Structure 1
Amino acid sequence: MTRIYVGPTSLYSLGQVGELALLDAFDGEVVVPEPVVRSVNVEPAATNLAEFLDGGVETGVDEDHVERARAVLGAKDVGAAETVVAGVLAHRDQRDRSAVAVVSEDRTVRRTAQGLGAEVTSSFGVVVRAAIEDKYLSPTQAKRIVRRIDQHGMHLTGELRERAVGEVAD
């Protein structure tokens, strides 16, 4: 089964606009490590995350892999997001090498996870995927969500905003 590790930046951006449920568009198990949960302490993202987690999202992480993630990341201080990389490392150690993915806006986490074999996306990718996979989320609704995320702090360049909005076909 695919495991999708979600970092604090994506939880913040989706949580600020009340769209964490879009993570359910993934075909796999969403994992939000406990240190990541604790790092999302801005409202309304924190309340929205607590409600999302009530749906049975896994939050555990193996401490041995957290130490390895710190070593892999070197001197880069990514805080709780290191537990996302730890999840990718744990996945690599399993004999079952089914798919693993990371949802994060953090460039260091994204590059590292991708280098370790994980698929990576951002909160904007989550919206696009939900629009493609979910017959109840229209392209117009998806475009509104992308714009709301952009207005709530995850600012995109004009080019990236148009690319995210453009990937959701009318």
Structure 2
Amino acid sequence: MFKIILAICFAVACKGDECSDVTIVSRSDWGARAPKSTSQLSLPVKYVFIHHTDGRACTSQSSCSSVVRGIQNYHMDDRGWDDIGYSFLIGEDGKVYEGRGWDRVGAHTRGYNDVGIAISFMGNFSNIKPKQIALDAAKNLINCGVRLRKVSTTYILRGHRDMGTTTCPGDTLYAEIKTWPHY
């Protein structure tokens, strides 16, 4: 009986990671450098923070991978951080690019790095909203984190500006996330 259930699960694309509604581009697939060091998050996290990179937007895996590598280089070489600061980044191609991921403490929201994950939309969203495919990817990623027990079922969603003096994640994206559950 177990073999039949397993066969049915594979036939309908069941995934052990329960994130089949999210396309996550792994660090190796976007060409990440190795981190200098890592620290483990205590899971599930209480907060989900939304950022924008305030830089170039991207619309393909190739262009987004290039943008993510540039951000990692900036964070490590210019800021002196151990790795890219964000947990995940979202491209206008609707894909999620793994930064520090679910399990590692990031460098994204001063005072809250060890109690939350950061999702950063690639681009500047002060005057425009990300494409719907990117917004859906972020929502699906958050739901995936809850299903995987990486994010608390009672998580608190905030924009970067809610936790410090910044305009991040841009006025238009900020107005959008204020309509999402858990804000």
TM-score past 0.5 threshold: no
Structure with higher strand content: 2
* TM-score, scaled to structure 2: 0.32
More helix, by proportion: 1
Instruction: Tell me the TM-score normalized by structure 1.
Output: 0.33
Structure with larger Rg: 2
